[in-house]
Chains A and B, each alone.
Chain A
Amino acid sequence: MSLLSDDQKMLQETAASFLGQEGSIAKQLRHWRGIGCKDGFGHELWKQFGELGLTGICIPESHGGLGLGATEAALVLEEIGRNLTPSPFLGTAVAGARAIEGTAHGDCWLPGILSGGAVLALAVDEGPRHAPERTALQAKRQGNGFVLNGAKQFVVQGASADMIVTAARTGGSPGEHDGITLFAVAKDVGGLSVENEALVDSSKAARLTFSDVQLDADAVIGEVDGGWQPLSRALNAGSAGAAAELVGVASGASAMTLDYLKQRKQFGKLIGEFQSLQHRAAHLYSEIEIARAAAFKAAQLLDSGDDQAELHVAVAKAKAADVANLAVREGVQMHGGIGMTDEHDIGLYMKREAVLGQLFGDVYYHRERVAQLSGY
């Protein structure tokens, strides 16, 4: 594994300073939550992502992007996680951009993503648990186009999206990779109902119902029946990105908790002097370091096109979710009563972890992937 290059370190510093200031909990998450924002994030901040060039990390240079990869995206996502910054970065600039790259839809949407103007969403899940190969949303050929019927859920920022990348079944049966097709769906298309749901972390995800939604043939992203390839590319990028964001969530929660251990006094002592808490804090530190290493390994293998990349993406997502979950549980517990209050930020980390943990498949989904990819 290689360490960060000078350019990567510079990007990390840029992201840390931008998100630490402009993306802070007070300025973003608490602000939008407080006013009951329908998007759950700020479009102004998204434009600033664009001005700093961060939106172009996963966009090829031929389209004006930086042509970088999962490693650089991970650096930004770790800072996003640390600051709990709500933004379309992961869904739009990482997973969304990967879904449409190299297609006509890429030519159409990448410039908007680059400027921080466009928002994309990914509609994959059809039940409460992630199972992309079991896609069943029906897309039947009709004339020159397709008619879609079925439902999607957990479509992150679906109600705010300018375009929804939708996985549908044009052939084969649920459980098979072949026969899945990706469609570019505008959210105002006839027959589509969009319910904008607030999630536990104050982010928004849509439930979509497709009732005879008619799409032209040019709505197809990539090949008919061959959607698994761009979909898995998007899901791998998304999972690796979510892993990095989870590492940031874990780091942020742990830093906040360590501060508290060094301030809070009971029995005339700082509670950080108690060995029972010291050992738990040290264990958590060790786990976060390991999760970060797993996340970077996955990102680097994705970037080098290694055939072990999928295995390591699954490892990274499972490990990072596991560790972030430990970090937020320990965080709330070690804060004691104050950690149960809405006023304190530590609870916000617990809520964000719950959502990121599910996104692109939870710990159990990815452990199962690891078992299957390892041949058992």
Chain B
Amino acid sequence: MTDIDTFRSETRVWLEANCPAEMRQPMRSEADACWGGRNWSFQSDAQRRWLEAMAGRGWTVPDWPKDYGGGGLSAAEARVLKEEMARIGARPPLTSFGISMLGPALLKFGTEEQKKHYLGQIARGEIRWCQGYSEPGAGSDLAGLQTKAEDKGDHWLVNGQKVWTSYADKADWIFCLVRTSTESKQGGISFLLFDMETPGVSTRPILLISGNSPFCETFFDDVKVPKEQIVGEVNKGWDVAKYLLGHEREMISGMGLGMGGSLGAEAKPQDALLRAEIAAFDVDALAFAAMSERFAAMWKAGEAHPASPSMMKYAGTELNKRRNELSMAAGGSDALEWDSERSKGGKAPRDWLRSKGNSIEGGTSEIQLNIVAKHILRLPGA
């Protein structure tokens, strides 16, 4: 038996013993996810045990170094773990912006102290993070952000407003882009970390068309942030931001993969013309799933173009919107019910409406196309 086969069989045995049955049920919605954090109340004992067991092995972040709370697994081992979890339908033990976004940025740009301090907390699900990027006047033109951080000697004094801060009302800490210089647009941005309980921080949820409120407005009024809570150098925060956005796009593009199986097999369309459209969609979805596999392999091998997450994000989110449109069509008037039990609380229309944000958040489709045109196709003036 090769090492990887041994790893697979050991992993299988361990998962069998440690993944509670309840954690092998498909998640019904985002609400079933385990987000962790200081104020997290576990939805079940099983959810708590599952997180503790996985975090104990560093398997909430299997490919991070062991020193920082990770599992220290090779790419091949991490893939095996993923496959073995998928095999038994295991839920992710922890869903976290710390894992998907901040962590990779800290691994690349953080000081040794920062890595030691923050990464372990992220891996164990102790601190829940939110992202302070967009502002009312800085959406697609993110580098136009105005939230100000003034150097007051022993601290930064932060004033301004963020918007579209995911789960800011539930988060413990924020990673936040601030303006530390007005001399250069991109070269005047810094990347700060601070506690959401710091005096002067307040949040207000935004009600979306889907009826849910995953996003907030976040206000900073004379917020004092210790000097050392900056990632990377002063005025070099845009590099960190861009790197992190790449990871965010990678994650959002993964939604295409997470869309599940064949839409046709699920929707069983009776109408010939709808069936034809759904078959065309299934071709595109399966082709995109192949792309996701190829992209992941190329990304790991360092063979992917640095701007390729933009392509993935664009294609994946547009596909997910199309899937939701077709689901609505296949569902007919059943898919219009907003809160009945029969409709699982209006899952279809709420998912459909929520999906419209996929191609806006994390950089609109149009911005992704700009990035592809400029950095990959090298078109003039892009």
Contact = CB atoms under 8 A, between A and B. Distances in A.
Nearest to A278: B373
B55 interface: no
Interface string B341-374: 0000000000000000000000000101110110
B58 interface: no
B203 to A, nearest CB: 35
Interface residues of A, number: 45
Contact of B315 (A261, A290, A314, A375): A290
A298 to B, nearest CB: 8
A1 B369 contact: no
Given A272-B380, A291-B287, A367 B279 contact: yes
A15 B373 CA distance: 29
Contact of B280 (A277, A283, A314, A367): A367
Given A281-B377, A367-B283, A293 B293 contact: yes
Nearest to A318: B283
Contact of A278 (B282, B287, B301, B369): B369
Contact of A282 (B262, B278, B282, B372): B372
A368 B279 contact: yes
B209 interface: no
Contacts of B265: 374-376
A214 B280 CA distance: 44
B181 to A, nearest CB: 30
B373 A371 contact: no
Contacts of B295: 293
Contacts of B284: 290, 319
B290 A370 contact: no
Interface in A351-376: 364, 366-368, 370-371, 374-376
A290 B291 contact: yes
Contact of B294 (A1, A281, A287): A1
Interface in B133-161: none
A294 B287 CA distance: 5
Contact of B303 (A3, A270, A289, A376): A3
A366 B283 contact: yes
B329 interface: no
Contact of A376 (B262, B301, B308, B376): B262
Interface string A273-295: 10101110111011101111110
A230 B363 CA distance: 50
Contacts of B280: 318, 367
A233 interface: no
Interface in A321-344: 322
B294 A293 contact: yes
A315 interface: yes
Contact of B290 (A269, A272, A286, A297): A297
Interface stretch (B32-40, B182-190, B234-242, B268-276): B268-276
A132 B247 CA distance: 46
B207 interface: no
Given A285-B372, A376-B269, A293 B291 contact: yes
Nearest to A272: B379
B288 interface: yes
Contacts of B279: 367-368, 370-371
A127 to B, nearest CB: 20
B290 A312 contact: yes
B336 interface: no
B382 interface: yes
Nearest to B371: A282
A311 interface: yes
A375 B295 CA distance: 28
B175 interface: no
Given A286-B314, A367-B280, A315 B372 contact: no
A154 B105 CA distance: 56
Given A370-B279, A374-B265, A376-B262, A270 B381 contact: yes
Nearest to A298: B290
B286 A312 contact: yes
Contacts of A278: 369-370, 373, 377, 379, 382
Contacts of B293: 1, 293, 297
B264 interface: yes
A293 B294 CA distance: 6
A258 interface: yes
Q: Which of B308, B379, B381 has the most CB of A within 10 A?
A: B379
Contact of A273 (B276, B315, B379): B379
A351 to B, nearest CB: 24
A313 to B, nearest CB: 11
Contacts of A275: 370, 382
Interface string A55-82: 0000000000000000000000000000
A262 interface: yes
Contact of B288 (A2, A290, A314): A290
B283 A315 contact: yes
A316 interface: yes
A315 B287 contact: yes
Given A285-B311, A294-B291, A318-B283, A262 B373 contact: no
Nearest to B268: A376
Contact of A296 (B286, B290, B369, B372): B290
B161 to A, nearest CB: 30
Contacts of B287: 290-291, 293-294, 315-316, 319
Contact of B381 (A273, A289, A296): A273
Contacts of A291: 287
B270 to A, nearest CB: 10
Q: Which of A282, A315, A322 has the most CB of B within 10 A?
A: A282
B297 interface: yes
Contact of A285 (B269, B377, B380): B377
Contacts of A297: 290, 293-294
A261 B373 CA distance: 11
B290 A294 contact: yes
Nearest to A320: B287
A296 B275 contact: no
A287 B280 CA distance: 14
Given A281-B373, A285-B311, 4 more contacts: A281-B377, A282-B314, A374-B265, A375-B265
13 contacts: A1-B297, A258-B377, A258-B379, A269-B381, A278-B382, A282-B311, A282-B368, A283-B369, A293-B293, A297-B294, A315-B290, A371-B278, A376-B267
Interface of A: 1-3, 258, 261-262, 269-270, 272-273, 275, 277-279, 281-283, 285-287, 289-294, 296-297, 311-312, 314-316, 318-319, 322, 364, 366-368, 370-371, 374-376
